[in-house]
Amino acid sequence: MGVTLITGASGFIGSHLVADMRRRGLPIRPVSRREAPGITKIGSYTAETDWQPHLQDVDHIVHLAARVHVMRETDADPLTAFRRANVDATLNLARQAASAGVKRFIFMSTIKVNGEETKPGKPFTNSDPPNPQDPYAISKAEAETGLAEIGQQSGMEFTIIRPPLVYGPGVGGNFATLLRWAKLGLPSIFPRVENKRSLIYVGNLTDFAIKALNHPGAANRHFLVSDGTPLSTHQLVFKLLVACGNKPRSVPVPLTAFKWAGSIAGKEQMIERLLNSLEIDDRETRDTLSWNEPFGLEVSLRAGP
């Protein structure tokens, strides 16, 4: 196997992928905009970045670098900012990779390309059409389309991965908040929340990405992937309480109270993610790549933030 170039190597997913591939003795070339031991610092990820010095002997690329979704957007033109980082910079790298003879380009996208939520009994599947609804998801969907066009023109294979919420050591966001709650031994306030949300442990995601490097069934496809068992927010908090060594308890809070509090605090999006469903059916993914997650839910939750 030739060298795998990993962009965004110092980020949450990137740092875990670097560690996973090094444990397996796989040749990698990790790059990042930040200084980090064992990682090559590059100036920027833009539409003008010269990637040629980093592409020598590279067979595969796992492109993780991105402008990620944020709860409080500060840019005056979010869509343009997301497109610069997630579309223009990505396709610049892909074009240079194709010219350099890279065999496969793996792009870490997001389940948000499929949509923001699912209805009961109707999880997202690989065959569902894209339905991106915010600037972040739109930019990822446009990058997917551009990669497919470059692949068709050049012969470079591409693989697109659309994960749901990724958790594990170093995670932030809502998951980190729920974990802090559980570590304090506070009761779940979500017993009336009967949603279903798919998750994926970062170790399972890196295992899947490594599987996709060379598997023939991964060529020129997109995949939804998860831990396999969706959880309600209440179930997740209960499991986190147990993982933290605390007794699972609950105090019912009406759904209207959550929505009212979110509106008052200006955190409507955060509350929506705690209450709404976003469920994945990834059976086709598992069958196509003969893949099952190496880490079970209980083990993954005990891994901590």
Residues annotated as part of the active site: 136
CB 128 within 8 A of CB 114: yes
CB 27 within 8 A of CB 69: no
Q: What share of the chain is helix, strand, coil (3-state, %, to 5)?
A: 45, 15, 40
CB 295 within 8 A of CB 168: no
DSSP states along 92-155: HHHHHHHHTT-SEEEEE--GGGT-S--BTTB-B-TTSPP---SHHHHHHHHHHHHHHHHHHHH-
Nearest to 199, CA basis, from 221, 178, 228: 228
- Residue 255, both tokens: 């759904």
Rounded-to-integer distance, Cα 207 and Cα 205, Å: 5
Q: Residues near 130 by Cβ (< 8 Å), separated by ≥ 6?
A: 113, 114, 141, 144
- Position 139, amino acid: S
CB 90 within 8 A of CB 146: yes
